[in-house]
Amino acid sequence: MPKKSLGQHFLVDENILGVIGRLAELAEDDVVLEVGPGLGVLTRFLAARVARVDAVEVDRSLEPHLLDAGENVTVHFGDALQLDLAALAPDATKLVANLPYNIATPLIVESLDRLPGVGLWCVMLQREVAYRLFAHPETKEYGAVSVLVQLVCERSGFHPVSRNVFRPRPNVDSALVAFRRVSMPADYKRVKRIVGAAFAHRRKTLPNSLELAGVTSRVRAAHALAAIGKDASVRAEALLPHQFVELAKALE
């Protein structure tokens, strides 16, 4: 039985697998990290097309469904947000998954720098989350995850998905989104901290939000914003992704 507490909506319609394969640009030498294999429908599809699959599943009761996923599949049981995924799947080149709703955003954000070998993501998400990844500034969808993903990746594919491909049928729409790594800011960890602080109080001005988050003082933040040509009254949602990198440098 799917567990609501784990955000489980199992992929059961194999017709969507071809779309996943196309957007993930699967190749025979790929090593794929899959988070949330569920009943193993996608796992078996991947196993037949790539060199190896490392699947991470938090629900040990699903083990019987994953035993026959393939000889090149290793199933790791545990919480993907707590495990050291880089140590668990050090050779992973792609992350392909029907991500559980309750871990999707933090997992994507953490994978950007913690899985440096991953060059392409193809993930099933709630559609509103999928839109958020590549949202434009000054929209309600634009937030910290938008900035961080766009600093590192470019979107390579998007495909709306029917609710009927899952069991149980979710109450929200879903989408497949694919994106590939193109760059990584030199001081990414510091930029990441500043971005998180900037959006922590998104209705406040950027200097106020940064001070409330304990990153810097309002005065220093105002001076840094002036250095990149921005007024102290600006809010986080008005800055382009690359301007957060400039802001981080100005705050040094």
- What pLDDT, in 10s, does the model give residues 234-246? 999 999 999 999 9
CATH number for the domain harbouring residue 240: 1.10.8.100
Percent of the chain at pLDDT above 70?
97
pLDDT greater than 50 at residue 205: yes
Q: Are 206 and 107 in contact (CB under 8 A)?
A: no
**pLDDT of 81 higher than 80:** yes
114 and 62 inside one domain = yes
Instruction: Give the Cβ contact number of residue 67 at 10 Å.
Output: 9
* Number of independent structural domains in the chain: 2
Assess whether 174 and 192 both reside in one domain.
no
pLDDT at 6 over 80: no
Residue type, 59: D
Same structural domain, 235 and 144: no
Q: Which amino acid is at 134?
A: F
Same domain, 147 and 204: no
Bridge partners (DSSP) of residue 57 are 77
Share of the chain above pLDDT 90, in %: 87
**Using one digit for the tens of pLDDT, what is the confidence trace for 146-204?**
999 999 999 999 999 988 888 777 788 999 999 999 999 989 999 999 999 999 999 99
Which two structure tokens, joined as six digits, stand for 187? 């001081």
Answer with the one of 139, 163, 181 that is the final residue of a domain: 181
Question: Could you tell me the sign of the dihedral formed by the alpha carbons of 51, 70, 97, 197, in that order?
Answer: negative
Residues in the chain: 252
pLDDT at site 234: 98
Average pLDDT over residues 212-224: 97
How far apart are alpha carbons 75 and 91 in whole angstroms?
A: 15
What are the tens digits of pLDDT across the range 27-59?
A: 999 999 999 999 999 999 999 999 999 999 999
| Domain end call among 136, 159, 181 | 181
CATH number at residue 43: 3.40.50.150
**Structure-block tokens of residue 239:** 């800055």
Confidence of residue 8 (pLDDT cuts 50, 70, 90): low
Mean pLDDT along residues 217-231: 98
- For residue 217, give its domain range: 188-250
Q: What is the mean pLDDT of the chain?
A: 94
- Higher-confidence position of 128 and 101: 128
* Strand bridging mode 174-181 / 52-57: unpaired
